[in-house]
Amino acid sequence: MRQSSRKAFTLVELLVVIAIIGTLVGLLLPAVQAAREAARRNTCAANMTQLSKAVQIRETSTKDIPGYINTLGITGTNQLVRAPWIVTLFPQLEQAQLYEKWSSGTMNFDQSFAPIEILVCPSNPPATQGEPVTAYVANTGWRNKAAENGLPPKNNPPTFENPANGVFFDRTRVADLPNSPPPNPNWVSTQDARDTTGAAKNVMSFAYLQGKGDGTTKTLMVSESLGALFWGYRTQDDYTNVRDQPYHFGFMWERPTVLTGTNADLKLRVNGPKDPPTYSTFTDMDAVYNQTGLNATDLVQRPGIPSSNHPGGVNVGFVGGQVQLLSDQIEPFVYAQLMTSNHKQSDLATDATATEPSDDAF
């Protein structure tokens, strides 16, 4: 009698095959996700490379690095506006039409803002499409030193910033505005036309970095930040009523002992809290920055701190143009040295044990 051959799998064999396939998928998925994240991180690094090149090209013409806030328009007339650092790079970023709206000194909130793809990190996409968001901030120096007379910056912005502390400074500290009232948005009603001296002291250049400072390859220029909002003051209220602050469009360094030890403020470390920010305007950003009573376990996104969704670190760009992933385990003293343009002349102490109270203490 002839035996019939078996033409089907048994249930056990089918289950074994399914288990093997499931195991292979489980092994492959992390690799696929890692590859996707690596691609996003590389795109982010390419964006920062373009920003670094834009600063270099601009510096070749102007012989200085822009401030985190600048005047644009016709000096000596009432056609002047305040422009963040990214706006000054628009000619180098192929955004000539947007730059024209700002440089004419007649910026308006309906036409002078637009989303710019190069300012978006793929790992940190905007929550709302069409908004002029940015994922990148500039090196604005020491968090406490943006102040005078012992008061923190939120209460008493200075007329002078130590150029050795950072790279980007407030460049609107000059009385070059006319007596005639400027058009809306009204500059006279803002809180930033403060002094008539010291303008040159708030200027940074490649010549300073290379001749007196730590060098362009050893000084941070730009970073990612999950706490950043827009590349400019998005609303009339923010533009007119919010005092310019270094954390609005920048990232800062803090004295090492504020970030270490018993009373460590871990929120101020690189890649501190990575939750989405709880604010949507610069007014609300100020409120979050200034709130007291926070402790190291509070998951509150603090503005002015390098942060990203990339595992293990943050993409940063140096003045010399190189971009790399900065480990979030970096020692605070080393991080501060990378941010100072001339650490020997800066307010950073010569050893990592020096103490300085956080401005939340005032």
Number of domains in the chain: 1
What pLDDT is recorded for position 78?
67
Below-70 pLDDT ranges, the chain? 1-9, 28-34, 75-78, 144-160, 173-202, 261-263, 265, 291-301, 349-362
Please tell me the predicted confidence (pLDDT) of residue 349.
56
Q: Is 33 part of any domain?
A: no
Residue 181 domain flag: yes
Alpha carbon distances (Å) from 226 to 29, 236, 310, 354: 26, 24, 11, 29
Label the pairing between strands 250-253 and 323-327: unpaired
Give the Cα separation of 258 and 262 in Å (integer): 9
Q: How far apart are CA 302 and CA 275, in angstroms?
A: 10
- 27 occurs within a structural domain: no
3-state secondary structure 310-335: CCCEEEEEECCCCEEEEECCCCHHHH
**Which pLDDT does position 196 carry in this prediction?**
38
Structural domain that includes position 109: 38-361
3-state class (DSSP) for residue 72: strand
pLDDT attached to residue 173:
59
Whether 309 is covered by a domain: the verdict is yes
Q: What is residue 89's predicted lDDT score, i.e. its pLDDT? A: 95
225: in domain: yes
Instruction: Decide: helix, strand or coil at residue 208.
Output: helix
pLDDT value of residue 4: 57
Please check whether residue 2 lies inside any domain of the structure.
no
Q: Say if 26 falls within a structural domain.
A: no
CA 156 to chain centre: 22
**Collapsed DSSP state (helix, strand, coil) of residue 42:** helix
User: Dihedrals φ, ψ of 220, to 5°?
Assistant: -70, 145
Tell me whether residue 31 is in a domain. Answer: no
The pLDDT score that the predictor gives to residue 300 is: 63
pLDDT of residue 360: 37
Nearest to 267 by CA among 308, 227, 297, 229: 297
pLDDT at 262: 66
What is the per-residue pLDDT for 183? 39
